[in-house]
Amino acid sequence: MSLIAPPLALYIHMPWCVKKCPYCDFNSHGLRSEPPPYADYINHLLADLDADRADFAAALEGRPVISIFFGGGTPSLFSPELIDRLLDGVRERLPLVDNAEITLETNPGTVEHGRFDGYLAAGVNRISFGVQSFDDDKLRRLGRIHSSDEAEAAVKSAQDAGYANINLDLMYALPQQTLAGALTDVARAVALQPTHISHYQLTLEPNTAFAANPPPLPDDDHAWAMQEACEAHLADAGYGQYEISAYALPDRRCTHNLNYWRFGDYLGIGAGAHGKLSDTGTGQVHRRWKTRHPRAYLEAAGGATRIGGDSVVSPAELPFEYMLNALRLIDGVPMADFAERTGLPAERIAAVLTADCQRGWLHDDPQRLRTTTLGQRFLNDVIASFLD
């Protein structure tokens, strides 16, 4: 088998936030007394992109970018003028498809009135708000810097500016949260009429403040009850679940995240950013990640020391890597995609597929790879079954 180049996206990491949340294990750094060098960072992002383009010229040739995602940290700390300059630089270096999806993650506590007009003019056509909850007590427990009223005002401000594609991030199974509380959060989110809702369980990640001092969280059974009830509420409101934690109105699924889950390719620029590229010439899947700390990244000035690591995904690891993404999709993926995007024959995973079907984790469908309801609940076990 040979690799077929999948769609290509671009991820841009903005590493600063106002304050580090106790549950967060992302590469984010709270603001200190001296403001971050925002303008200088934009220059380094473009230098980073130039260097990656040179290193992967053959793999990138003739491939347009379908989506751009500004993640963090809090990208909305960067002014619309800086985002505009960066996007202009990206367009000069990479071809974009018409109407490419361009998402900016936003903290409701960092936006200023009128800034959404500037982001929209710069080309950002999708806003993702990190709301997490509409319960002010829960927001305080999560270390968030905004209130529920501020979250609602920020969403309405973006809508007034002309944004028609908005995502809200919500968590459930929060400290001492009840089923009624989780449903209230979903109801308040739906009332704002976003096009997309990401609804995911709070988990205790290593090396976070919550991991060191765990708050009182609902047990697994209560968390599962919240997930099922909230999923039903979202479905009744017209939000179809298409991934374990993603719900969207018709035709509003997130292009960027779908590309991840379908084992697509993406360049990653910025401190700690990860990228994945398929080289059809060599038949290899290549991963690259950048040095994590903003200071070290800036000091690299687009040079080789900006790279935190490079690796080629071995054939033994490819089935697990592929399933880690694809099995999150509720509708699954065509079975043929496995061979096209890994370069491995489907026979490579035949025995595991048979075993997982017998366990009731996967549908017995030779044309489509898809988890059952039971498989979705025990997704980590299903994915682990593909470890070599």
Residues 271-280 pLDDT 10s: 999 999 999 8
- What integer is the mean pLDDT of 329-348? 95
pLDDT digits (tens, 9 = 90+) for 34-70: 889 999 999 999 999 999 999 999 999 999 999 999 9
The dihedral built from the CA positions of residue 332, 335, 337 and 338, taken in this order, carries a sign that is positive
Bridge partners of residue 105, in order along the sequence:
128
pLDDT of 113 above 70: no
Query: Which helix (H) or strand (E) covers residue 65, if one does?
Result: strand 65-72
Contact (Cβ atoms closer than 8 angstroms) between residue 259 and residue 9: yes
Residues of the chain with CATH 1.10.10: 319-384
Q: Is the pLDDT of residue 114 over 90?
A: no
| Dihedral sign, Cα of residue 243, residue 275, residue 210, residue 189 | negative
Q: Average pLDDT of the chain?
A: 95
Distance CA 203, CA 226 (A): 14
Nearest to 266, CA basis, from 5, 1, 44, 3: 5
Residue pointed to by tokens 């470890």: 387
The mean-pLDDT minimum among 21-30, 172-181, 372-381 falls in 21-30
Query: Closest Cα to residue 161, out of 106, 124, 130, 120?
Result: 120
Tell me where in the chain the CATH 3.20.20.70 domain(s) lie. Answer: 8-259
312 to 2, 280, 288: CA distances (angstroms): 16, 13, 9
> In the structure encoding, which two tokens stand for residue 202, read together?
């709070």
CB 127 within 8 A of CB 119: yes
pLDDT digits (tens, 9 = 90+) for 163-175: 999 999 999 999 9
**What does each C-alpha distance from 133 to 73, 142, 225, 294 come to in angstroms?**
18, 9, 18, 29
Q: How confident is the model at residue 211 (pLDDT cuts 50, 70, 90)?
A: confident
Tokens encoding 152: 């609602």
Confidence of residue 157 (pLDDT cuts 50, 70, 90): very high
- String of DSSP letters for 13-35: EE-EESS--TT--SS-EE--SSP
Cα atoms in the Cβ-side hemisphere of radius 13 Å centred on 58: 8
CA atoms within 13 Å, Cβ hemisphere of 270: 22
Model confidence over 7-41: pLDDT tens digits? 999 999 999 998 889 898 888 888 887 889 999 99
Q: Beginning with the edge strand found earlier in the chain, give each strand of the sheet holding 265-269 in spatial order.
A: 240-243, 246-248, 196-201, 166-172, 126-132, 96-106, 65-72, 8-14, 265-269, 274-279, 284-290, 307-312
Q: Judging by beta carbons within 10 Å of its beta carbon (0-12, 13-18, 19+), is residue 103 exposed, middle or buried?
A: buried
Q: Over 80: is that where the pLDDT of 1 sits?
A: no
Which pLDDT score is estimated for 112?
Answer: 65
Query: Could you tell me which residues come within 8 angstroms of residue 351 by beta carbon, excluding any fewer than 6 positions away?
Result: none
State residue 19's pLDDT score. 87
Residue range 319-384 forms a domain whose CATH class is mainly alpha
* Whole-angstrom distance, CA of residue 321 vs CA of residue 355: 19
CATH topology of domain 8-259: TIM Barrel (3.20.20)
Task: Please tell me the distance from the alpha carbon of residue 323 to that of residue 240, in angstroms, as a whole number.
Answer: 22
Q: Which of 227, 236, 110 is nearest to 170 (CA)?
A: 227
What average pLDDT does range 114-139 have in this prediction? 95
User: Is the confidence at residue 251, as pLDDT, over 80?
Assistant: yes
Q: Residue 218: is its pLDDT beyond 60?
A: yes
Q: How far apart are CA 196 and CA 190, in angstroms?
A: 9
